[in-house]
Structure 1
Amino acid sequence: MEVFEILGYIGALLIGVVLGLIGGGGSILTVPVLVYLMYINPVTATAYSLFVVGISSLIGAFKNIQKGLVDLKTAIVFSIPAFIAVYATRKYLVPAIPEHLFNIGDLAVTKNIGIMVFFAIIMLMASISMIRGRSENGDDDDTEVQYNFPFIILEGVVVGVLTGIVGAGGGFLIIPALVIFAKLPMKRAVATSLLIIAIKSLIGFLGDVQNQNIDWTFLLSFTALSVIGIFLGIWLSNFINDKHLKKSFGWFVLLMGIYILYKELFG
């Protein structure tokens, strides 16, 4: 087993640890780990990421359901347009992207480069969200849940398409939408987002099962390590301040996004 492959499996464990510690963000590491350490094609890596993210989020969602933190009605309203969008994106849009997109001077921007650059931009957006921190307003569990259906549906479609292209969960987009458009308290929004991420990621992955050959042995072993990492992260969360950790991780994601942009465009 090569050194980078060993680091890749360590990365799988780290993805789970981050998810267990701060309830999100770890999925943003999945594609870079698969592409740069496991040497997996970016299109395949985004597919595998959907499965890893989906299974990991599902475990977190079950834990939150047991605690009574998940708003199932909101999850269903948001998930339906999201999973339709992510499924259609993986089955039809991603395969339809041409292998050669355009040229920037002497640089030929291919489909793989385009996906990684787009992913890096999403990482930069996510990092800013984590560094700034989420507003703690609206944490009152007695707050009446209200629904702005047109905006919830529109946001669900947008998040679904983004998830389908880059293979990340999109929690940094979902959580503000649930707080603003469904008036959910922050704790319930965070908990509900994990169920939404799980549903749309796994259904999006179904679009890939029909288009790609899946290495199930590798994918299940990688996912199993992430799941172990989740439980390790949950245990570690008893000893670590999650707000400080989230900001530190945000800076790490920012640097990673900049690195990917540099590597794909100038490396």
Structure 2
Amino acid sequence: MCTGRAARAVVGAGRGVGRARIRPAWRRAGQIMFWAALVGVLTGFFGVGGGFAVVPALTLALGFGMREAVGTSLLVIVVNSAVGLLARLGTHPDVDWVLVGAFMAASIAAGQVGARISARARPEALSLAFGLLLAGVAVATAVQVVSQLT
């Protein structure tokens, strides 16, 4: 159940086939631009994006369901990646294309497996799993930083 700002973003929750309808984007353009800019700053400053920035912004701030947020996040990643690749073509001649191809193939295959598992999972379970993943990454990062300081 959405609360706070997310609840105000959802219109018609409980109607239809169990899906909440999100207000049209043009009606909340300022809010979307704020969160998109925040994601951009996080991406540029920390090198994070996708699930670590876009999904929380879409679910917590804009009221998206987990599945819709993940799908939207993946599309954002594709567009950002394509633009980044085009901007850097020819600037790094020492790219290990075999490694890139292997990583890409493994990511595509694993993504298909993950999509099938996700389709069978409850949205609440997906949100919990995502939260635990973020918490685990935060703890691992903190441990790594603290060990470097000592």
Give me the TM-score of the superposition, normalised by structure 2: 0.61
Q: Hey, what does 1:164 align to over in structure 2?
A: 44
For 1:29-40, what aligned pairs fall within 5 Å after superposition?
Answer: none
Match of 2:98 among 198, 202, 217: 217
Q: Deviations over 1:124-156 (max 9, x none)?
A: xxxxxxxxxx86843644343243334433443
Spell out, residue by residue over 1:217-255, the C-alpha distance to the aligned partner (whole angstroms, 9 max, x if none): 111111211221112223334368434423432332122
1:265 matches 2:144: no
- Identical columns (%): 26
Aligned AA (1:242): L
Deviations 1:149-183 (A, max 9, x none): 344334433422432344332444334544687x5
Q: Distance in 2 between matches of 1:243 and 1:179?
A: 9
Q: Which amino acid aligns with 2:102?
A: S
**Which of 114, 128, 132 is matched with 1:233 structurally?**
114
Q: How high is the TM-score relative to the length of structure 1? A: 0.39
Question: Could you say what the CA RMSD is over the residues aligned between the two structures, in angstroms?
Answer: 3.4
- 1:8-45 superposed Cα distances (whole Å, 9 cap, x missing partner): xxxxxxxxxxxxxxxxxxxxxxxxxxxxxxxxxxxxxx
- Alpha-carbon separation, structure 2, partners of 1:243 and 1:195: 19
Whether 1:256 and 2:147 are equivalent positions in the alignment is no
Alpha-carbon distance change, 235 to 179 in structure 1, aligned in 2, over 3 angstroms: closer
Mapped to 1, the partners of 2:43 and 2:113 lie a distance apart of 26
In the alignment, the residues of structure 1 paired with residue 60 and residue 139 of structure 2 have an alpha-carbon distance, to the nearest angstrom, of 29
How far apart in 1 are the matches of 2:97 and 2:88?
13
Where does the alignment leave 5 or more consecutive residues of structure 1 unmatched? Answer: 1-133
Where relative contact order (Cα < 8 A, 6+ residues apart) is larger, the structure is 1
The whole-number CA distance in structure 2 between the counterparts of 1:248 and 1:185 is: 19
Find the aligned partners of 2:60 and 2:135 in 1 and give their Cα distance: 26
Structure 2 matches for 1:9-24, cutoff 5 A? Answer: none
SS at match of 1:168: coil
Q: Tell me which of 71, 76, 83 is aligned to 1:191.
A: 71
The equivalent position to 2:23 in structure 1, one of 144, 150, 165, is: 144
**Map 1:1-267 → 2, pairs under 5 A:** 137=7, 138=10, 140-147=19-26, 148-175=28-55, 177-178=57-58, 185-186=64-65, 187-213=67-93, 214-237=95-118, 238=120, 241-266=125-150
